Amino acid sequence: MAEAPIRGGSANPRRGAMVERVPVPTPSDVEPHPAVTAVQSTLAAVRDGRLAEAYDFLPPGFQSDVDQIIQEAAAQVEPELWQAVARTAHKGLQVLQEKKPLILESLNQPEREASIEQLAAAWDDLVASLAELETSELADLEQLRRLNSRQWLATTGSSLFQRLRGPEGAESLNPLAAMLEPSVTEAASPDGRLMLAIAPPGHEENDLVEFVQIENRWIPRSLAEGWPVTREAWRRRLSPGDRESQQRVIAALTEIEASFDQLLAATTVEEFQTVAVPLVVKSLQAFNRWQQPAGPPDGVSLTIRGNLSDDQQTRLLADLEQLSDDAARCVYTATSSSDRMVISLRPVSDVEKLAARLPFASDVQVDPVGRSISLTFRQP
């Protein structure tokens, strides 16, 4: 897809910086800027469960990218793998349906009593939602290969959302509802950029976010500029890989299915926990590996957890340049959010060797096959 032109200033704001904000005085008879209206309308749509309308915050071209990524990934999936996914998901649903008392008793601790009570109250709706997913378009490989994400959000997605938030529409989502009612105002900008001051409810400090217009949609500049990288990262993440890779996934799913059979056969908490604890640990490890974007064939992908300042990010990238195989030919792309930074770096031939040399790393996890490193930032 050709990249749409961005309307707005050319300078990039410092991400995550907290500074004093000065909202632009807006008389009551003056309409708010369309970007303010877009943010407020999107948040209201999420609160009300109008997910397709909320999704329209994204430009049409971005929505087309999402559909294409999902359809391409589904087209690469071998039927044998999809059948294994379906069997494992169904068996997992059976565990949730039949072993609710053992699961809740296994989780219960004195300090968790209130949380367990809330989970128990929401359990049936949660399981019913998963059962609905099992029969939705997402469970049918052929339908998934033709999926329209906006249409799914307007139908099945909205139905699931309404079920999860309960019959009164808000009780189980009170914390979410509060988060979705921030103060959004246009802020003064001496250089002509469109800046919105966004403050969570009850907070005086604002985050200053620059907005630009793409395809008649007002979105954060960081989203606009980072979209090509985000799009390719998700394309790699959802790709099922070659036949050999898919066979490895099938083998792993077969093991998980066998564990589910053992859980279904359990009659005591002790029997249940003996199987469940290692299964949960293994599943979390697999999920963390999946979250980590795959690196380029001649490089590495690094996911760095932590809230890094602009200066720390600059020094970190300079260090990585020197740690690459050839600093003179080093190429990298980097995206950052409030709690992590993702970097694609090349050339790097030995991923494990690089991981061992990182001076700012702790809690390091290395995937040599996926050419990726996940770590927590530590001040050298």
Span 279-299, average pLDDT: 75
For residue 210, pLDDT over 80 is answered with yes
At 172, is the pLDDT very low, low, confident or very high (cuts 50, 70, 90)?
very low
Position 20 in a domain: no
Span 268-276, average pLDDT: 94
* Average pLDDT of the residues of the chain: 84
Position 345 in a domain: yes
Residue finishing a domain among 269, 291, 313: 291
Q: What is the 3-state secondary structure (H, E, C) of the chain?
A: CCCCCCECCCCCCCCCCCCCCCECCCCCCCCCCHHHHHHHHHHHHHHHCCHHHHHCCCCHHHHHHHHHHHHHHHHHCCHHHHHHHHHHHHHHHHHHHHCHHHHHHHHCCHHHHHHHHHHHHHHHHHHHHHHHHHCCHHHCHHHHCCCCHHHHHHHHHHHHHHHHCCCCCCHHHHHHHHHCCCEEEEECCCCCCCEEEEECCCCCCCEEEEEEEECCEEEEHHHHHHHHHHHHHHHHHHCCCCHHHHHHHHHHHHHHHHHHHHHHHCCCHHHHHHHHHHHHHHHHHHHHHHHCCCCCCCCEEEEEECCCCHHHHHHHHHHHHHHCCCHHHCEEEEEECCCEEEEEEECCCCHHHHHHHCCCEEEEEEECCCCEEEEEECCC
On whether both 228 and 125 belong to a single domain, the answer is yes
On whether both 111 and 65 belong to a single domain, the answer is yes
On whether both 280 and 307 belong to a single domain, the answer is no
Position 8 in a domain: no
On whether both 312 and 336 belong to a single domain, the answer is yes
On whether both 357 and 219 belong to a single domain, the answer is no
Position 212 in a domain: yes
Question: Rounded to two decimals, what is the model's pTM?
Answer: 0.69
- Residue range of the domain that includes 349: 300-377
Position 310 in a domain: yes
pLDDT at 178: 54
On whether both 265 and 313 belong to a single domain, the answer is no
Question: How many structural domains compose the chain?
Answer: 2
Position 120 in a domain: yes
At 372, is the pLDDT very low, low, confident or very high (cuts 50, 70, 90)?
confident
Position 356 in a domain: yes
What pLDDT digit, counting tens, does each position of 130-160 carry?
998 898 888 899 999 999 999 999 999 998 8
For residue 40, pLDDT over 80 is answered with yes
On whether both 114 and 68 belong to a single domain, the answer is yes
On whether both 315 and 198 belong to a single domain, the answer is no
Position 195 in a domain: yes
